[in-house]
Protein backbone atom coordinates (compact mmCIF):
# COMPACT_ATOMS: atom_id res chain seq x y z
CA UNK A 1 0.00 0.00 0.00
CA UNK A 2 1.30 3.40 -0.97
CA UNK A 3 2.62 5.22 2.11
CA UNK A 4 1.60 8.56 0.61
CA UNK A 5 -2.04 7.42 0.59
CA UNK A 6 -1.77 6.31 4.23
CA UNK A 7 -0.33 9.70 5.13
CA UNK A 8 -3.26 11.29 3.38
CA UNK A 9 -5.73 9.10 5.29
CA UNK A 10 -4.11 10.00 8.61
CA UNK A 11 -4.07 13.67 7.68
CA UNK A 12 -7.79 13.55 6.86
CA UNK A 13 -8.46 11.75 10.15
CA UNK A 14 -6.60 14.35 12.23
CA UNK A 15 -8.13 17.20 10.28
CA UNK A 16 -11.78 16.23 10.79
CA UNK A 17 -11.25 15.88 14.55
CA UNK A 18 -9.15 19.03 15.00
CA UNK A 19 -11.55 21.07 12.85
CA UNK A 20 -14.50 19.67 14.83
CA UNK A 21 -16.04 18.10 11.73
CA UNK A 22 -16.79 15.13 13.94
CA UNK A 23 -19.58 13.77 11.74
CA UNK A 24 -16.96 13.04 9.07
CA UNK A 25 -14.93 10.87 11.46
CA UNK A 26 -17.02 7.64 11.33
CA UNK A 27 -16.93 7.79 7.54
CA UNK A 28 -13.22 7.01 7.62
CA UNK A 29 -14.04 3.52 8.95
CA UNK A 30 -15.45 0.39 7.39
CA UNK A 31 -18.64 -1.08 8.81
CA UNK A 32 -18.23 -3.27 10.80
CA UNK A 33 -14.91 -2.09 12.18
CA UNK A 34 -12.97 -2.02 15.41
CA UNK A 35 -12.02 1.23 17.15
CA UNK A 36 -10.52 1.06 20.61
CA UNK A 37 -8.73 3.48 22.90
CA UNK A 38 -6.52 1.73 25.41
CA UNK A 39 -3.05 1.91 26.93
CA UNK A 40 0.27 0.26 26.21
CA UNK A 41 0.10 -1.35 29.67
CA UNK A 42 -3.26 -2.97 29.05
CA UNK A 43 -2.08 -4.25 25.67
CA UNK A 44 1.15 -5.60 27.19
CA UNK A 45 -0.82 -7.44 29.88
CA UNK A 46 -3.35 -8.82 27.43
CA UNK A 47 -6.21 -6.84 29.00
CA UNK A 48 -8.95 -6.17 26.47
CA UNK A 49 -10.80 -3.41 28.34
CA UNK A 50 -10.91 -0.01 26.66
CA UNK A 51 -11.80 3.62 27.31
CA UNK A 52 -13.74 3.60 24.07
CA UNK A 53 -14.81 0.45 22.24
CA UNK A 54 -16.76 0.44 18.99
CA UNK A 55 -17.23 -2.44 16.58
CA UNK A 56 -19.66 -0.82 14.18
CA UNK A 57 -19.78 2.52 12.40
CA UNK A 58 -23.05 3.08 14.27
CA UNK A 59 -21.19 3.00 17.57
CA UNK A 60 -18.76 5.60 16.21
CA UNK A 61 -21.69 7.77 15.16
CA UNK A 62 -23.14 7.39 18.66
CA UNK A 63 -19.89 8.72 20.13
CA UNK A 64 -20.33 11.81 18.01
CA UNK A 65 -24.03 12.36 18.68
CA UNK A 66 -23.32 11.89 22.39
CA UNK A 67 -20.51 14.44 22.46
CA UNK A 68 -22.59 16.85 20.36
CA UNK A 69 -25.96 16.52 22.09
CA UNK A 70 -25.69 14.64 25.34
CA UNK A 71 -22.47 14.93 27.28
CA UNK A 72 -21.49 17.91 29.40
CA UNK A 73 -17.88 19.07 29.40
CA UNK A 74 -15.92 22.28 29.26
CA UNK A 75 -15.27 23.62 25.77
CA UNK A 76 -12.06 22.16 24.38
CA UNK A 77 -10.43 21.02 21.18
CA UNK A 78 -7.48 18.96 20.04
CA UNK A 79 -4.49 19.43 17.80
CA UNK A 80 -3.18 16.15 16.43
CA UNK A 81 0.40 15.83 15.30
CA UNK A 82 0.61 12.51 13.46
CA UNK A 83 3.91 10.89 12.53
CA UNK A 84 4.79 8.83 9.50
CA UNK A 85 3.03 5.49 9.02
CA UNK A 86 5.08 2.31 8.99
CA UNK A 87 3.58 -0.56 6.99
CA UNK A 88 4.22 -3.70 9.02
CA UNK A 89 2.65 -6.14 6.62
CA UNK A 90 0.18 -6.59 3.80
CA UNK A 91 -2.13 -9.44 2.95
CA UNK A 92 -5.36 -9.77 0.96
CA UNK A 93 -5.61 -6.06 0.34
CA UNK A 94 -5.25 -5.19 4.03
CA UNK A 95 -2.26 -3.27 5.31
CA UNK A 96 -1.15 -3.41 8.91
CA UNK A 97 0.09 0.04 9.76
CA UNK A 98 1.54 1.69 12.82
CA UNK A 99 1.61 5.48 13.21
CA UNK A 100 2.71 7.56 16.21
CA UNK A 101 0.58 10.50 17.34
CA UNK A 102 0.59 13.39 19.79
CA UNK A 103 -2.54 15.23 20.89
CA UNK A 104 -2.46 18.68 22.48
CA UNK A 105 -5.68 19.64 24.25
CA UNK A 106 -6.63 23.31 24.16
CA UNK A 107 -9.08 24.31 26.89
CA UNK A 108 -11.65 27.09 26.85
CA UNK A 109 -9.44 29.40 28.88
CA UNK A 110 -6.41 28.73 26.68
CA UNK A 111 -4.55 26.17 28.75
CA UNK A 112 -2.73 23.78 26.47
CA UNK A 113 -1.26 20.46 27.48
CA UNK A 114 0.00 17.27 25.97
CA UNK A 115 -3.17 15.28 26.46
CA UNK A 116 -2.11 11.99 24.92
CA UNK A 117 0.68 10.39 22.96
CA UNK A 118 0.78 6.91 21.55
CA UNK A 119 0.51 4.79 18.50
CA UNK A 120 -2.30 4.00 16.10
CA UNK A 121 -2.26 0.30 15.24
CA UNK A 122 -4.36 0.02 12.12
CA UNK A 123 -5.71 -2.35 9.58
CA UNK A 124 -6.41 -0.37 6.43
CA UNK A 125 -8.39 -1.55 3.42
CA UNK A 126 -9.77 0.19 0.35
CA UNK A 127 -13.57 0.50 0.19
CA UNK A 128 -15.66 -0.22 -2.93
CA UNK A 129 -14.67 3.12 -4.45
CA UNK A 130 -10.99 2.45 -3.78
CA UNK A 131 -10.71 4.98 -0.94
CA UNK A 132 -8.63 3.79 2.03
CA UNK A 133 -10.61 3.22 5.20
CA UNK A 134 -9.86 1.80 8.64
CA UNK A 135 -11.05 -1.74 9.25
CA UNK A 136 -9.37 -1.43 12.61
CA UNK A 137 -7.81 1.41 14.57
CA UNK A 138 -6.46 0.55 18.01
CA UNK A 139 -5.34 3.71 19.78
CA UNK A 140 -2.59 2.57 22.13
CA UNK A 141 -1.83 5.44 24.51
CA UNK A 142 1.59 5.63 26.12
CA UNK A 143 0.28 6.76 29.51
CA UNK A 144 -2.35 5.27 31.78
CA UNK A 145 -3.47 8.76 32.86
CA UNK A 146 -6.36 10.61 31.19
CA UNK A 147 -6.86 14.05 32.66
CA UNK A 148 -10.41 15.01 33.72
CA UNK A 149 -12.32 13.39 30.85
CA UNK A 150 -12.12 12.22 27.26
CA UNK A 151 -15.05 13.57 25.23
CA UNK A 152 -13.50 13.86 21.78
CA UNK A 153 -12.02 10.71 20.21
CA UNK A 154 -8.26 10.34 19.77
Cα(90)–Cα(109) distance, integer angstroms: 45
Mask of contacts with other proteins, 18-47, x by CB under 8 A?
-------------------xxx-xx----x
DSSP conformational letter for 142: S
- Kindly give, in sequence order, each residue whose CB lies less than 8 Å from that of residue 13, ignoring residues fewer than 6 positions away: 25, 28, 80, 82
Per-residue DSSP letter, 70: I
Give the residue, chosen from 3, 53, 84, 88, that forms a contact with other proteins under the rule CB under 8 A.
Answer: 53
With binding defined as CB under 8 A, does residue 10 bind other proteins?
A: no
Residues 6+ apart with CB under 8 A from 14: 80, 81, 82, 101
Query: Can you tell me which of 7, 12, 16, 51 binds other proteins, judged by CB under 8 A?
Result: 51
Q: How many residues bind other proteins (CB under 8 A)?
A: 35
By CB under 8 A, residue 69 contacts other proteins: yes
Binding site for other proteins (CB under 8 A): 37-39, 41-42, 47-56, 58-59, 61-62, 65-66, 69-74, 144-151
Amino acid sequence: MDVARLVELNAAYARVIDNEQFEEWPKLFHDPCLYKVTTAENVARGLEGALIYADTRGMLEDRISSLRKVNIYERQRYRHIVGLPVVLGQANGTAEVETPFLIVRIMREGDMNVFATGCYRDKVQPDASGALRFAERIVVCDSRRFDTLVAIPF
